[in-house]
């Protein structure tokens, strides 16, 4: 079941209320600058690594753009995330300034292309991943995954759970 698992980092946090501090609205009118946000990181990101309860914070900017052809672009300029495993003290910091390009196919499925640097989770192979480059995933109208991004690329996929173990 989709629990806002593979979503663009900033939009998922804001849309699902996962940032515990105040965050901007999910969509801003076209022509306006991205809005800033910061806060503590919540689920599913802090619990995505089996056996680890992570702590995290995120800050940056976010904007959702609705295009004239009915697609959506989500951007996150200047967004940074810090994740810590309190059990061993390991900490990682990433810049996650990627974008999501979201459209619908002929069957009504949501097709997402994550471009650049994004923080994503997966259902099939649970974990927390920094993706660099272009990755794709498809969800049916009920939010179930038909195709999840590959751990082999294209692009680079870093397993954050391994980094923090």
Give the model confidence (pLDDT) of 131-163 as tens digits.
999 988 899 999 888 887 776 667 788 999 999
Q: What secondary structure letter does DSSP report for 47? A: G
pLDDT (mean) for 17-39: 58
**Residue 4: pLDDT above 50?**
no
The predicted pLDDT at position 121 comes to 84
Question: Mind listing the pLDDT tens digit for each residue in 78-130?
Answer: 999 999 999 999 999 999 999 999 999 999 999 999 999 999 887 777 788 99
Give me Rg for the CA atoms of the chain: 15
CA-CA distance, 110 to 145, in Å (whole number)? 9
Q: Are 84 and 91 in contact (CB under 8 A)?
A: yes
Q: How confident is the model at residue 33 (pLDDT cuts 50, 70, 90)?
A: confident
Q: How many CA atoms lie within 13 A of 60 on its CB side?
A: 25
- pLDDT given for residue 29 in this prediction: 58
Provide the 10 A C-beta neighbour count for residue 146.
13
Quote the pLDDT of residue 90. 97
Judged by DSSP in three states, 115 sits in strand
């Amino acid at each position: 079941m989709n629990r806002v698992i593979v979503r663009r980092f900033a939009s998922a946090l804001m849309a699902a209320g996962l940032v515990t501090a105040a965050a901007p609205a999910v969509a801003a009118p076209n022509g306006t600058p991205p809005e800033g946000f910061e806060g503590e990181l919540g689920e599913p990101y802090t619990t995505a690594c089996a056996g680890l309860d992570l702590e995290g914070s995120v800050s940056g900017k976010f904007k959702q753009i609705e295009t004239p052809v009915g697609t959506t672009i989500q951007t996150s300029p200047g967004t940074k995330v810090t994740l810590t495993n309190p059990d061993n003290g390991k900490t990682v910091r990433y810049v996650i300034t990627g974008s999501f390009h979201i459209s619908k196919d002929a069957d009504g499925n949501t097709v997402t292309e994550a471009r650049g640097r994004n923080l994503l989770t997966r259902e099939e192979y649970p974990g927390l991943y920094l993706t660099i480059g272009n990755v794709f995933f498809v969800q049916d109208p009920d939010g179930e995954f038909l195709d999840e991004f590959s751990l082999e690329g294209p692009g680079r996929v870093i397993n954050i759970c391994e980094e923090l173990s």
